[in-house]
Chain A
Amino acid sequence: MSEKKEPVFENRYPFEAKIQVNEEKIREIRENYIKISKINLEKMRRGKNRAANMAYFENALLDKTERIKELKEFKAKGGKVIGIFCVHVPEELIYAAGCVPIRMSCGFYDTIAPAEEILPKNICPLIKSSIGFNFLKVNPLFELCDIIIIPTSCDGKKKMAEILSNYQEVWTLEMPNDRDNEVSREFWVKQVRLLKERLENLTGSKIEKKVLKKYILKLHERTALVRELFDLRVGQKIVVDGRDVYFVLQTAFFDNPIRWMEKVRLLINELKKNIQNNKVIVKESTPRIIMTGSPLIWPNMKLLHIIEESGAVVVADDSCACGQYFYNPAELEEWSMKSMLEALSDKYLLPVVCPVFAHCDDRIDRLLELIEKYKADGVIYHILRLCQVFDFEYIKISKLFEKKSIPLIKIETEYSEEDAGQIKTRIEAFIEMLEARR
């Protein structure tokens, strides 16, 4: 096992800035998170024929007691909980090392203002909320994290890693900017190998070949399951809406993966029955929408509520917080440690449509594929204000879509509710436009 430890953040100069909030304010923010989550869920329950198996996921989000208990017991026995960001961290390695990953959520408006005390003004709400979430411990599960792994995807994530490293142990996962050349790929494989070594140093034991294989196969099952869930919306009979799919996928951020898979299986079985029995949630003429752009992370469901309350339905997305999460399997022919690490590296790099990479052609391919497969009527392009990489790519995509006559609308917004009225007008007009085209 390699002994070299390479801390990215030495912090020879301490980061003195602090978020000044009192316990009462933190309690208020935590309560508000539950309150807003409940409001979201109430809106999602309004439609008819919603699957009864959604109840498990609702409870898992609102009451994390059981999950906390599980993880505390796990930690008492020496287990490590690892917080992760983005979709580039190989979860298979973490499980194989005997650790548990939790994906950090960062979609809560109330965490922004406190975080602004220690952050520059002109950065996106997702980064602000990530910092706020971690400092304010809005999610009690985050307190259990021993390490946080942050891929150096966008600039915000890099600098966030530096700030957080003053308060807890942070590992970065260095990402290449261009994934289409051999040097980048080698660099990335090295990073994944380094992560493996760091995990082994953390736990004091080597990751065994057969254990890694076991988890790769286990997560294959999860990928297959998620694909099955997405494919339920390919047909004309819609039995689950975009909000529910986003929500279910995001409960996997923190839930026990084995239990989560069992519950998703039950949900899929129920939804399949609903298709057979014609228990649809919207009529067949409902305009079908593909979501793309910056991730919509719970409880920031504003845009999805507006779309689906205005008479359209989201049938697919290419989001890292939904349709891209778990979507790709690691492709393997032989099971040596070398090929497993290479396959994992490829899985978390090549098919990922994140806009941080130098070009967006792969993302466009994926979008066009989704539009055709899910018979979409239009695409809604969400940009979190100051999310520059998605904003950059919009222009190329909009010109291409104009040529291909694919209806597209850009919605630039933040986590606050104040622009909901204006967004509603735009979305309604877009839906009226889609209906008039038929």
Chain B
Amino acid sequence: MSIVAGVDIGSTTAKVVILKDGNPVASSITYTGADCSAAAESVLNEALQKIGADRKDLDYTVSTGYGRRAINFGDETITEISANAKGAVFVGNEEKGGEKIRSIIDIGGQDTKAIILDDSGRITSFAMNDKCAAGTGRFLDVIARALQEPMENFVALALSSENPVTINSTCTVFAESEVISLIAKKVPKKDIIAGLHKSIARRVTELAKTAGIKPVVFFDGGGAKNTALKQWIEKELGYEVYVPKHPQTIVALGASIFAYEKLQKKNQNNKNFK
């Protein structure tokens, strides 16, 4: 029996997926906060508790995400781009009945990514947003504060709008001041919020198009839980995208699969050595 873990330290949340003999058995999510090492420790322990295991039972751990090197445990690191591809291919097989995933759109707290795969699930190209936060989860957080509207209401408000405004600014800071001037002009909140979703969707699809997006498109990351965003992305692309059951833990899942493959290889090598 083997137990491996994939730990994904994102800018906003830390995620863990545990595999037992190659099958996902537990996962856990927590806020990263200021100390990513502490967040990684606690989220890993929490996931292990769910299956009644602890740290010494772990055979192999792979970390990923922007904080992958900030944590002081784990056997190996992998980029979130490779991890995302592995996770998406696995889930695609499980949930989409083997239909080939060819592209991934990932909207996270700080990064937006588009990843293009070939028939066998290997990455052929990818694109990431620049260092600014426009088009990411953080963008919506900033605007929610400016609008004094809790994030929980955002999706419903966005979907209820019939006249989304056009947000021109591509920079979070400028978009925020644009939003403030829209509030001053008494534009309904729902139209502003819908406009923001539309603007993010437009930027993300532009990025995905430069990378060479093609169906079937898999949409994951924290942003994929936002149904308004999904709808606007589909409108921009002109076809449907698939959101997995647990979009936030796909990258951690990919890291855990990588850990499992590594462990098998290691065991194989040890056998050969004997």
Whether A associates with B in a native complex is yes
| Chain A residues within CB distance 8 Å of chain B | 402, 405, 407-409, 412, 418-419, 421-422, 425-426, 428-429, 432-433, 436-437
Contact, CB under 8 Å: A422 / B82 = no
**Which residues in A have their C-beta under 8 angstroms from that of B124?**
405, 407, 433
In contact, A422 and B212 (Cβ under 8 angstroms): no
- Which of B66, B130, B212 lies in contact with A425, CB distance below 8 A? B66
Q: Does B81 contact A (CB under 8 A)?
A: yes
| A412 touching B130, Cβ below 8 Å | yes
Shortest CB-to-CB span from B2 to chain A, Å, is: 23
A432 B66 Cβ-Cβ under 8 A: no
Residue of B nearest to A426 (CB): B128
Question: How distant is the Cα of A412 from the Cα of B111 in the complex, in angstroms?
Answer: 16
Residues of B within 8 A of A408 (CB): 125
Cβ contact of A432, chosen from B81, B111, B125, B212, cutoff 8 A: B81
Show 6 A/B contacts (Cβ-Cβ < 8 Å), sorted by A: A405-B124, A407-B125, A432-B81, A432-B82, A436-B123, A437-B122
**Contact present for B131 and A418 (CB under 8 Å):** yes
Q: Give Cα A418–Cα B78 distance, bound, in whole angstroms.
A: 22
A425-B66, A429-B126, A433-B123 are contacts. A419–B131 as well, Cβ < 8 Å? yes
Distance, CA A153 to CA B128, complexed state (A): 31
A residues within 8 A CB of B131? 418-419, 422
B128 surroundings in chain A (CB, below 8 A): 422, 425-426
Minimal Cβ-Cβ distance residue in A for B120: A436
Is B125 a contact of A402 with CB atoms below 8 Å?
yes
- Please tell me if B93 contacts chain A, counting CB pairs below 8 Å: no
Residues of B within 8 A of A432 (CB): 78-79, 81-82, 123
Collect the chain B residues with CB atoms within 8 Å of residue A433's CB: 81-82, 122-124, 126
* 8 A-B pairs with the lowest CB-CB distances in the bound complex, closest first: A429-B81, A429-B79, A432-B82, A433-B123, A428-B79, A419-B131, A436-B122, A425-B79
- What CA separation (Å) do A428 and B78 show in the bound complex? 8
Contacts of A421 in B (CB 8 A): 66
Centre residue among B66, B79, B80, B122 by max chain A CB count within 10 A: B79
Max count, chain B CB within 10 A of own CB: residue among A407, A412, A428, A429: A429
Q: What CA separation (Å) do A429 and B126 show in the bound complex?
A: 9
Write the B101-130 contact mask toward A (1 if CB under 8 angstroms, else 0). Answer: 000000000010000000000111110101
Residues from chain B with Cβ under 8 Å of A402 in the complex: 125, 212
CB distance from B26 to the nearest CB of A (A): 26
Q: Which B residues lie within 8 Å of A425 (CB)? A: 66, 79-81, 128
A310 CB to nearest B CB, Å: 10
For B79, list chain A residues within 8 Å (CB): 425, 428-429, 432
Question: Which one, B80, B82, B125, contacts A436 given CB within 8 A?
Answer: B82
- Which residues of the partner chain A approach B123 to less than 8 Å between Cβ atoms? 429, 432-433, 436
A348 to chain B, nearest CB (A): 35
Alpha-carbon distance between A405 and B212 when the two chains are bound, in angstroms: 13
Q: How far is A421 from B131 in the complex, measured between Cα atoms in Å? A: 10
Q: Given contacts A407-B124, A425-B66, could you give 19 more A-B pairs where the C-beta distance is less than 8 Å?
A: A402-B125, A402-B212, A407-B125, A409-B125, A412-B130, A418-B131, A421-B66, A422-B111, A422-B131, A425-B81, A425-B128, A429-B81, A429-B123, A432-B79, A432-B81, A433-B124, A433-B126, A436-B122, A437-B122
Task: Determine the residue in chain B with the shortest Cβ distance to A412.
Answer: B130
Contacts of A419 in B (CB 8 A): 131
In the assembled complex, the Cα of A402 lies from the Cα of B116 at a distance in Å of 12
Q: How many residues of B contact A (CB 8 A)?
A: 16
Task: Encode contact with A along B201-226: 1 for CB under 8 Å, 0 otherwise.
Answer: 00000000000100000000000000
Chain A's closest residue to B80 (CB) is: A425
Q: Which residue of B lies closest to A408 (CB)?
A: B125
Contacts of A436 in B (CB 8 A): 82, 122-123
CB distance from B65 to the nearest CB of A (A): 9
What chain A residues lie within 8 Å of B212 (beta carbons)? 402
Cβ contacts under 8 Å, B80 to chain A: 425, 429
Residues in B neighbouring A418, C-beta threshold 8 A: 131
Bound Cα distance A426, B81 (Å): 8
In angstroms, Cα B82 to Cα A405, docked, is: 19
CA distance in complex: A437, B82 (Å): 12
Binary contact track B62-86/A, C-beta < 8 Å → 1, others 0: 0000100000000000111110000
A193 to B81, alpha carbons, bound, how many Å? Answer: 54
Q: Which one of B82, B122, B130 contacts A429 once the chains associate, using CB atoms below 8 Å?
A: B82
**With the chains together, A336 CA to B255 CA distance in Å?**
68
Complex: A424 Cα to B66 Cα, angstroms: 10
Complex Cα–Cα for A50 and B122 (A): 35
Separation in Å of the A125 CB from the closest CB of chain B? 15
B129 to chain A: closest CB distance in Å? 9
Cα separation A407 to B125 with both chains bound (whole Å): 7
Chain A residues with Cβ under 8 A from B82's Cβ?
429, 432-433, 436
Residues on A with C-beta less than 8 A from B122 are: 433, 436-437
Minimum CB–CB distance from A339 to chain B (whole Å) comes to 48
Residues of chain B within 8 A (CB-CB) of A428 are 79
Q: Which residues of A contact B111 (CB under 8 A)?
A: 422
A11 and B230 alpha carbons, distance in the complex (Å):
59
Cα A436 to Cα B212 in complex, Å, equals: 19
B124 to chain A, nearest CB (A): 8
> In the complex, what residues of B have CB within 8 A of residue A426's CB?
81, 128
**In the complex, what residue of chain B is closest to A418 when comparing beta carbons?**
B131
**Shortest distance from the beta carbon of B6 to any chain A beta carbon, whole Å:** 15
Rounded to whole Å, the gap between the CB of B118 and the closest CB of chain A is 9
Min Cβ gap B246→A in Å is: 22
- Measured between alpha carbons, how far is A412 from B81 in the docked complex, in Å? 18
A421 CA / B66 CA spacing, docked (Å):
8
What separation, in Å, do the CA atoms of A428 and B128 have in the docked complex? 13
Q: How far is B120's CA from A437's CA once the two chains are assembled, in angstroms?
A: 11
What is the CA–CA distance of A412 and B122 in the complex, to the nearest angstrom?
Answer: 24
Q: Which of A407, A428, A433, A436 counts the most chain B CB atoms within 10 A? A: A433
In the assembled complex, which residues on chain B have CB atoms less than 8 Å from the CB atom of A437?
122
Nearest to B131 among chain A residues (CB) is A419
Residues of chain A with a CB closer than 8 A to B81's CB: 425-426, 429, 432-433
Residue of B nearest to A434 (CB): B123
Q: What string of 1s and 0s marks CB contacts (under 8 Å) between B176-201 and chain A?
A: 00000000000000000000000000
A429–B82 Cα distance when bound, in Å, is 6
Contacting residues, chain A, for B125 (C-beta < 8 A): 402, 407-409
